[in-house]
A and B are shown apart, each in its own frame.
Chain A
Amino acid sequence: MYTLPSKLKMFAIIFMVIGALGIVASFLTAPSNTAEVKEMMAAHGDSHGAEHATDTHEVTSDDHGTEVHDVHKEANAHDSEEAHLEHTLHQLQNKPWAALYIACFFFFMIALGVLAFYAVNFAAQAGWSPVLFRVMEAITAYLVPGGIIMFVLLALSGFHINHLFVWADPEVVAHDALLQGKAGWLNGTGLVIRAAIFLGGWILYRMYAVKFSRASEHVDDNRYFKKTFRISAGFLVFFLYTESMMSWDWLMSFDPHWFSTLYGWYILAGMMVCGITTIALITIFLKSQGYLEFVNDSHIHDLAKFMFGFSIFWTYLWFSQFMLIWYANIPEEVTYYITRIEDFKLPFFGMLILNFLFPLLLLMNSDYKRVNWFVVLTGIVILAGHYVDLFVLIMPGTVGTSWFIGLPEISSLLFFFGLFVFVVFTALTKAPLLMKNNPFIKESKNYHY
């Protein structure tokens, strides 16, 4: 049995408290009207506001001849400045929400990726992984609290309490024929109902899988293994459909004018690589504490191989999506990448280094995949890279050019990190770390590659 060290508990709680304070502060400091935005811009010496001021001045001094025209132009410029401030205000008000959403989804996606990986291992009757099942079960415990927070955030966004989803704003939809056409799918009620079905299905599978895993300790036949095998196969079918729809609802709808067909797979690949990386990190951590003496470096080697493979799979899907749109250059699709390349150049291309180049070069060597600190180093880089990936998916549609990785982003990340650590390591104490009575457990313990 694993007992939660009080140090770790304190560590998690401190992270949660600091994160929560930061989140509250970032909501309080967000501007509430355009005057504040103007003030903020002036204080920051923003070139945008300054340019505007000189622009209007030049216009008035140039056209001296027609006075009526002059006044008209001045009024126009004033209007556009006000509209610009309004636009920036919405972006800045979105900032803490978007930061919260990204961090919330990031940790939720790790738990979901692990759940899918767990089901795959059962359905494939993998012989190497059963010693890691209890670690995986503990990580998926985050699905319940994480899912509830995710659901609340979605409901708030879907019913336009915040401005995260453009399509949730009835005024915008009234002037947008494209959004009207999509309103049959993109509406608050639909979003919440679908989210409830997805989350319900995933949590239900998790509940039964863990229940069977615990119950198998007390029997001496394989009946619970067979049951888990069956529900895992069923879950994987359900998961692939719901995961795809989830990616349209929760991520793609930030840019509701844009669509892509391989988006769901792309999100899945990122989810899997984050999930597997987290399994590796927590396994290495527990092993270093002396709790997983039955895990050998061949298990780590296999996890690292999965990290390597799924990183390349993610890159393959990222590039396929990018290259097809870049090549065809159809205006209605390509704006998605134009905004990202123009406003998010560093994170957009930087994440390719973190998510592709790093794992490719560091994990290619078979010997390095057995070196724990190497796997940990690459794992941290991969997780950071996929946070940036989510950042680039969500931020352009919510805060646009006003993005920055500052207080709201970091404090949200800290809060959910603390919550994740707290939930996962509490869940680890609920059952022995080695599964009993799994038909593959002996093979897994003696696993050698």
Chain B
Amino acid sequence: MTSKVVHAIYNDDDILMQAVKQVRGEHYHIEEVYTPFPVHGLDKVMGLEPTRIAITAFMYGIVGLSVAVTMMNFIMIEDWPQNIGGKPSFSYIENMPAFVPIMFELTVFFAAHLMVITFYMRSKLWPFKKAENPDVRTTDDHFLMAVDAGNHDIEKLSKFLYDTGALEISIVETDEDH
């Protein structure tokens, strides 16, 4: 089965923002917007949900802290509590100041790295990944809005997009094989 998508190309982020607002106002469905750089506020205008990656980072940090505490408690206190330079190894709390640098670093390490990996997985990014770029100019100085044609009148949609300030409009047929 194929579906039609209208690609509208803009060359200014302010016009793009305005266009996104108008298209959403007319209740057309925006599939995707491709921009060469982050356009401040675009996510809000498109009505995208806020990211939850900071929450995952917080949880990963707690995991890192737990790993650090468990590891050092086992190694330094339970498994082989040696007297190293007179440091008290009778309980974890007594020797805790010495462990804090490691607790801190592992918290940051887990929070940072696992958050980055989460980002890659959620955005489907990896080496040798095939670039999903409808138009090479969108990585340089053009902005592309892909609007789902659906059951709309394509003529009317194209006309409408042209009025929002699009420079080029093309209709692309995609195979819905995913």
Residue ranges of A at the interface with B (Cβ–Cβ < 8 Å): 319, 322-323, 326-327, 329, 364, 366
Return the chain B residue nearest A361 by Cβ: B58
| A-chain residues with CB within 8 Å of residue B100 when the two chains form the complex | 319, 323
User: What are 6 A-B interface contacts by the 8 Å CB criterion?
Assistant: A319-B100, A326-B97, A327-B97, A327-B98, A329-B86, A364-B58
Return the chain A residue nearest B98 by Cβ: A327
Most buried by A among B58, B97, B98: B97
Interface residues on B, range: under 10
CB of A174, distance to nearest CB on chain B (Å): 37
**CB-CB contacts of B61-102 with A at 8 A, as 1s and 0s?**
000000000000000000000000010000000000110100
CB of A408, distance to nearest CB on chain B (Å): 33
Judge whether B97 and A323 touch: CB under 8 Å: yes
Judge whether B86 and A322 touch: CB under 8 Å: no
| A-chain residues with CB within 8 Å of residue B97 when the two chains form the complex | 319, 322-323, 326-327
| A-chain residues with CB within 8 Å of residue B58 when the two chains form the complex | 364
Return the chain B residue nearest A323 by Cβ: B97
| A-chain residues with CB within 8 Å of residue B86 when the two chains form the complex | 329
Classify the interface of chain A: helix, strand, loop or mixed.
helix
Residue ranges of B at the interface with A (Cβ–Cβ < 8 Å): 54, 58, 86, 97-98, 100
How many Å lie between the Cα of A323 and that of B98 in the bound state? 7
Return the chain A residue nearest B41 by Cβ: A448
How many Å lie between the Cα of A346 and that of B58 in the bound state? 29
| B-chain residues with CB within 8 Å of residue A327 when the two chains form the complex | 97-98
How many Å lie between the Cα of A322 and that of B54 in the bound state? 31
| B-chain residues with CB within 8 Å of residue A326 when the two chains form the complex | 97
CB of B82, distance to nearest CB on chain A (Å): 17
| A-chain residues with CB within 8 Å of residue B98 when the two chains form the complex | 323, 327
How many Å lie between the Cα of A364 and that of B54 in the bound state? 10
How many Å lie between the Cα of A326 and that of B97 in the bound state? 8
CB of A343, distance to nearest CB on chain B (Å): 19
How many Å lie between the Cα of A413 and that of B58 in the bound state? 38
CB of B65, distance to nearest CB on chain A (Å): 12
Return the chain A residue nearest B54 by Cβ: A366
| B-chain residues with CB within 8 Å of residue A329 when the two chains form the complex | 86
| B-chain residues with CB within 8 Å of residue A319 when the two chains form the complex | 97, 100
Given A323-B97, A323-B100, A326-B97, 9 further pairs, Cβ under 8 A: A319-B97, A319-B100, A322-B97, A323-B98, A327-B97, A327-B98, A329-B86, A364-B58, A366-B54
How many Å lie between the Cα of A329 and that of B86 in the bound state? 10
How many Å lie between the Cα of A366 and that of B52 in the bound state? 12
Return the chain B residue nearest A319 by Cβ: B100
How many Å lie between the Cα of A240 and that of B98 in the bound state? 31
CB of A149, distance to nearest CB on chain B (Å): 38
Return the chain A residue nearest B97 by Cβ: A323
How many Å lie between the Cα of A323 and that of B101 in the bound state? 10
| B-chain residues with CB within 8 Å of residue A323 when the two chains form the complex | 97-98, 100
| B-chain residues with CB within 8 Å of residue A322 when the two chains form the complex | 97
How many Å lie between the Cα of A319 and that of B96 in the bound state? 12
Return the chain B residue nearest A367 by Cβ: B50
How many Å lie between the Cα of A364 and that of B98 in the bound state? 26
Return the chain B residue nearest A325 by Cβ: B97
| A-chain residues with CB within 8 Å of residue B54 when the two chains form the complex | 366
How many Å lie between the Cα of A322 and that of B100 in the bound state? 12
CB of B118, distance to nearest CB on chain A (Å): 18
How many Å lie between the Cα of A319 and that of B103 in the bound state? 13
How many Å lie between the Cα of A329 and that of B84 in the bound state? 14
How many Å lie between the Cα of A366 and that of B54 in the bound state? 10
CB of A55, distance to nearest CB on chain B (Å): 31
How many Å lie between the Cα of A366 and that of B57 in the bound state? 14
Listed from nearest, the 4 A-B pairs whose CB atoms lie closest are: A323-B97, A326-B97, A327-B98, A319-B100
CB of B99, distance to nearest CB on chain A (Å): 10
How many Å lie between the Cα of A309 and that of B113 in the bound state? 22
How many Å lie between the Cα of A327 and that of B96 in the bound state? 11
How many Å lie between the Cα of A327 and that of B98 in the bound state? 7
CB of B83, distance to nearest CB on chain A (Å): 14
CB of B95, distance to nearest CB on chain A (Å): 10
CB of A160, distance to nearest CB on chain B (Å): 38
CB of A333, distance to nearest CB on chain B (Å): 14
CB of A377, distance to nearest CB on chain B (Å): 20
CB of A315, distance to nearest CB on chain B (Å): 11
CB of A127, distance to nearest CB on chain B (Å): 16
CB of B41, distance to nearest CB on chain A (Å): 10
| B-chain residues with CB within 8 Å of residue A366 when the two chains form the complex | 54
How many Å lie between the Cα of A326 and that of B95 in the bound state? 10
CB of A20, distance to nearest CB on chain B (Å): 43
CB of A153, distance to nearest CB on chain B (Å): 35
CB of B150, distance to nearest CB on chain A (Å): 35
CB of B52, distance to nearest CB on chain A (Å): 12
Return the chain B residue nearest A448 by Cβ: B41
How many Å lie between the Cα of A52 and that of B58 in the bound state? 55
| B-chain residues with CB within 8 Å of residue A364 when the two chains form the complex | 58
CB of B58, distance to nearest CB on chain A (Å): 7
CB of A336, distance to nearest CB on chain B (Å): 15
CB of A298, distance to nearest CB on chain B (Å): 14
Most buried by B among A322, A323, A364, A366: A323
How many Å lie between the Cα of A364 and that of B100 in the bound state? 20
How many Å lie between the Cα of A319 and that of B98 in the bound state? 11
